Amino acid sequence: MHGLLVAAIICALVSGPEKIIPRPASYRTGEKTFVYDGKVKEVKASRSFARQVDKLGIPDFARDEAYALEVTPKGVTINALTDKGLFRGRTSLDMMLEYGDTLRCCSILDWPRFAHRGLLLDESRHFRGKDYILKELDQMSKLKMSVLHLHFTDGAGWRFQTEKYPLLATRGGWRIGDTYKQWEYYGYNFGCEGDGYSYGGYFTKDDLREIVKYASERYITVVPEIEMPGHSIEVVKTYPETACLAPDGSRVMNHSVCPGSEATFELFQAVIDEVVDIFPGKYIHIGGDECNKSAWRNCPACRRRMEEKGIKDVNGLQSYLVQRMERYVNSKGRSIIGWDEILEGGLAPNATVMSWRGTAGGKQAVAMDHDVIMVPTSRCYLDYYQDAPVFEPEAIGSAYLPCERVYSYDPGRDFSEQDIHHVLGLQGNLWCEFIPTVAKAEYMLYPRAFAIAEIGWSPQEVRDWKEFRPRAIDYIEVIKSHGYNAFDLSAEKGNRDEMYKRLDHLAKGRPLTFNKPYDKGYHGSWDVTLNDGLFGSWEFPDDRWLGFRDGVDVTIDLGEVKDLHYVGGSFWAHAPEAICPPEKVEVWLSDDGNDWHLAGYRIREIPDAAKDIMVVELTVPLVDKGRYVRFKALRRDLPECKLMFLDEVIVL
């Protein structure tokens, strides 16, 4: 017994490739071990390794990062074709050593599936600065990630020092309101650097050069994003000549710049000049998403531009701006990336599309022979709740994206073998409207960033959630020991308990009539949603929640008169999204569908303005009979209550 215990302890202290995130493409292990002595034999561009890579048919983009790592009783050897490959091999060795110096003898042959394995860090909504970026670059490097998408201009703050347009940073980088919500509440206004009451900050050019150098040393490319034409209220409020004109000649201070004004192009071209001087990578991201084009329709400058260029509508006007900026970026030897809205009105000739509104934009761009980076919200938006929202700190909206759901994503599954070369990869996006601190940012990033890294690096056929989860739990403890804050995956509460239940009740499968229509935009599983025996999950809105805009009023035919004891349902509530539970539910009964009586009702007790996500159960106990059950959920006519969601009408 003592021998077995000693063996178990020794086994626990031995580390091997089974600990590595992202999982290597292939590896073999032996029974012997080696106590690491601090020495590594590195072999670059050997003919034997080159032949091995050739034989495997590894894609050209992956050859630079391919490596072989071998641990024998005599030592550690890393083979690669390039310095980058040697670095990736040392990264794997370092991760194994996080669990102890005794290494299991093994042979690893490894290379990435996709070139673009990225994270977006949003510094506009909340500025954390250089040290935070450097810290996260360290972790990205350990996860073999290749791209940092630095989102440092947006309406909530311009975070990039510029020489020709200094007010972008010294005013547009200092907003009124410490939090994003406060800034919205105070009318999207800005103060000034040093005024003592504004919140903000920005990267100096020296900061950015240091970040780029630090990233480059870890073989990470920094992609800067300069948002245009939307998400730009900080631009129009600091340089009003970039704003549209109203018919009365006043400036329209909304979130979009004016594509009819030459001042707009002068500003962004000057900014691009400074950006290319700092960021040596191939790509510059120009945004292009969620543009409010309402002012363009009546702006004299925009209308003149449309007439001069033969542009038919405002989507074409956005396309004009994107294509003109692309030509300028191309003239600097660089290429643009844009969010999938840049497809609207015609795609710029050489643009790469970042597909965030699902996968349709990516498929459309590939069909047009363009490269894509896949970032669908349902899999890659790390600002969503990662555990049951009722137990988690505030996140954006009420979307639920647990680590397992992130890990389940395969960016290649929507593309044919002939088209997959256009899929550069994927990235996790951490938008920070509700993430003010470094600690909360890291809590939202990790371990879901582990999943993004493994999706991007490891072959699809070797990935398995049940095998990944314990590795992730172990590595969470490692990064915590290095000063990172991370979500505790081992204590995950998971999806709503009710969603795993299948309830047989009197209304299940019976004919149901909608006396008031449901909202076709939130259709759940359509007409069967409310009596299929299935309850809603935290993955809201999913196919189990049905949305209504004018209250619920449904009639269920039970087939014959039955004794009834209970009628009720569960309602989703989240006041910030204008989703409210009903004020009252009523149960009406009838034997023939003509003569009705009110059998009971229940009034809710939580206030309209409750901010937390919650599921509110409103049930009516009965001692009654009836064949027809009419269930009504009544709402108050309040502007802050626009939607109501119900998952099941239960009749017992």
The catalytic residues are 154, 231, 290
Contact between residue 143 and residue 486 where contact means Cβ atoms under 8 Å apart: no
> Using CA atoms, how far apart are residues 287 and 150, in angstroms rounded to an integer?
12
Listed in sequence order, the residues at least 6 apart from 180 whose beta carbon sits closer than 8 Å to its beta carbon are 125, 126, 156, 432, 433, 434
Count of CB atoms situated within 10 Å of the CB of 521: 9
Contact between residue 40 and residue 68 where contact means Cβ atoms under 8 Å apart: no
Q: Is 126 exposed, middle or buried (0-12, 13-18, 19+ CB in 10 A)?
A: buried
Q: Which of 197, 200, 188 is nearest to 234 (CA)?
A: 188
> Using CA atoms, how far apart are residues 304 and 307, in angstroms rounded to an integer?
5
Amino acid found at 125: R
Count of CB atoms situated within 10 Å of the CB of 539: 21
Q: In Å, how far from its chain's centre is CA 19?
A: 26
Q: At what angle do helices 205-217 and 262-278 cross, to 10 degrees?
A: 50
Q: How far, CA to CA in Å, does 627 sit from each of 566, 585, 624, 630, 633?
A: 14, 19, 11, 10, 20
Please provide residue 352's backbone torsions phi and psi, each rounded to the nearest 5 degrees. Answer: -100, 135
Count of CB atoms situated within 10 Å of the CB of 464: 10
Q: Which residue has the tokens 């502007």?
A: 639
Q: Which of 464, 386, 390, 392 is nearest to 428 (CA)?
A: 386
- 3-class DSSP state for residue 102? strand
Tell me which DSSP letter residue 507 carries: T
Contact between residue 61 and residue 84 where contact means Cβ atoms under 8 Å apart: no
Q: Which residue has the tokens 């108050």?
A: 636
> Using CA atoms, how far apart are residues 605 and 208, in angstroms rounded to an integer?
52
DSSP structure string for 133-152: HHHHHHHHHHTT--EEEEE-
